[in-house]
Chains A and B, each alone.
Chain A
């Protein structure tokens, strides 16, 4: 946690702020989702309450708070109440492990009559050496909340929804993990910050033992692993249970799937979990394939440090970190918009098509991608 009072306090505030950042994205995303869907479908969308309909979500929240807290007579109370909370935890934990900006270094300073030693604060809730495995593992726990919700509702529709959700999540998890392996091989590391640091360079690679450098392109994963990026993105859609893979809550067949019996604030927590998944998915795409918080050659930590070199080193570091955080958020928002865009553009898959896509298309292609990447890297570097 830290060695003294200052460091511990800052770390606690950091954890709270990053969690709140995630939670506060949800109303914004709901608004974008409604207005965006209206834009795509040539309607107005909610535009009555507040400027551009922005306050609509607040009104909805009041409505949710006033709803009856309902539990069917065949429901299991403890599990029924635990499921919405569990849906929020995995997304929050996974999002906390992803670096959102460059680390902030604070020089030693005098305050309250004593000196406070130099600190380094990482712009993420916690630093974990096996970042990627941690994120994969934690997000695989999200299935429990869906299963528990569906089962404890004591309703057939909920149970069907939960079964579909869990079968889908387990099927696509394989393709998801395998599609990342190419990137891991390329950058040969498990830590997010090292992957981002490797992408903060001009595009350079070995071609039969000779080092080739393309000075006007950044060293982003997308240029090496376009197939891996597509596979990962599709698998992330399925993991987040979003359209075109929203079979678990197909309204025409299952009423509303695993959260049919839920009402009020509990259903908001499911939505928060879903949007949290979207956030984690977008953050993973940005980190693996689009350079994370760096934007070489314009906005890199080094250039910003040089730009702010007239400031005190601590302020220099803070300003750099904030600007790079803005870069990260812009990239993140782009992918979130893609999520919404796809949802309102593509129709839903049939269930057998979903399973075929997972097992017969994504998984073989991810395997081929892994093998080809491995062989290619071995050949190019060993000549």
Chain B
């Protein structure tokens, strides 16, 4: 039962990712990326990581991709095409360069994937054990990630704040004058 489903889901993940890169219409790309995320959640699920699958759906497909799709729809980018099809020579060369680098970097590191071994890290699928691990052994990484997210939120709020002409600014301009 599991193997055909695995193959199907892997195909969906790859197909969605491929369309995301190749299609000309931004909205289609974003939706295919969301579909790819969902299929990835399905992969997590049949591999026994139920909680990760749920979180994948909630966070990526449910929140992050919704924002992407919303922004893409708002700006209506459907007539703009990208480097792969219509850019100049230099962008094409640059993207080729980066792609070569990526392949050269990733390929040697992922060779061992062709010889599957039993996973050493987590032998648990239950949410309880996973969360107790998260709050004991990995608590530092967990909290640091939380602080990182908080910093990002504060940074966005600061950057997006409209520039007020408060009393301090008025004083500064007066001094300059």
Q: Residues on A close to B: CB < 8 A?
A: 79, 128-130, 133-134, 136-138, 140-141, 143-144, 147-148, 150-151, 159, 162-163, 166-167, 169-170, 173, 177, 188, 190
Contact = CB atoms under 8 A, between A and B. Distances in A.
A147 B73 contact: yes
Contacts of B53: 130
Q: What are the 7 A-B residue pairs with the smallest beta carbon separation, nearest first?
A: A140-B62, A133-B54, A137-B57, A151-B73, A137-B58, A130-B50, A130-B54
Given A144-B34, A147-B69, A163-B70, A130 B62 contact: no
Contact of B67 (A137, A138, A159, A170): A170
Given A133-B55, A137-B57, A159-B73, A144 B50 contact: no
Interface string B40-54: 010000000011011
A137 B70 contact: no
B168 interface: no
Nearest to B73: A151
B52 to A, nearest CB: 10
B74 A163 contact: yes
Interface string B48-89: 001101110110011100110110011000000000000000
Given A136-B58, A140-B62, A190-B127, A166 B70 contact: yes
Q: Which residue among B62, B63, B127 has the maximum number of chain A CB atoms within 10 Å of its CB?
A: B62
21 contacts: A128-B50, A129-B50, A129-B126, A129-B127, A130-B50, A130-B51, A130-B53, A130-B54, A133-B51, A136-B54, A137-B61, A140-B58, A140-B62, A140-B63, A140-B66, A147-B70, A148-B31, A150-B73, A159-B74, A170-B67, A188-B128
A151 B75 CA distance: 11
Interface in B77-135: 126-128
Nearest to A135: B54
Given A133-B54, A163-B70, 9 more contacts: A79-B27, A129-B50, A129-B126, A130-B51, A136-B58, A137-B41, A147-B73, A151-B73, A170-B67
Contacts of B74: 159, 163
Contact of A170 (B27, B50, B66): B66
A167 B66 CA distance: 9
Contacts of A138: 57
A133 B58 contact: yes
Interface of B: 27, 31, 34, 38, 41, 50-51, 53-55, 57-58, 61-63, 66-67, 69-70, 73-74, 126-128
A134 B62 CA distance: 11
B57 A147 contact: no
Contacts of B127: 129-130, 190
Contacts of B73: 147, 150-151, 159, 162
B54 A134 contact: yes
A2 to B, nearest CB: 11
A112 B140 CA distance: 62
A143 B66 contact: yes
A144 B69 contact: yes
A154 B34 CA distance: 22
B50 A147 contact: no
Contacts of B67: 170
Contacts of A170: 63, 66-67
A274 to B, nearest CB: 18
Contacts of A130: 50-51, 53-54, 127
Contacts of A144: 31, 34, 66, 69
B62 A141 contact: yes
Contacts of A190: 51, 127
Contacts of A177: 58
Contacts of B31: 144, 148
Nearest to B67: A170
Contacts of B61: 137, 140-141
A134 B50 CA distance: 9
A171 B15 CA distance: 31
Nearest to A159: B73
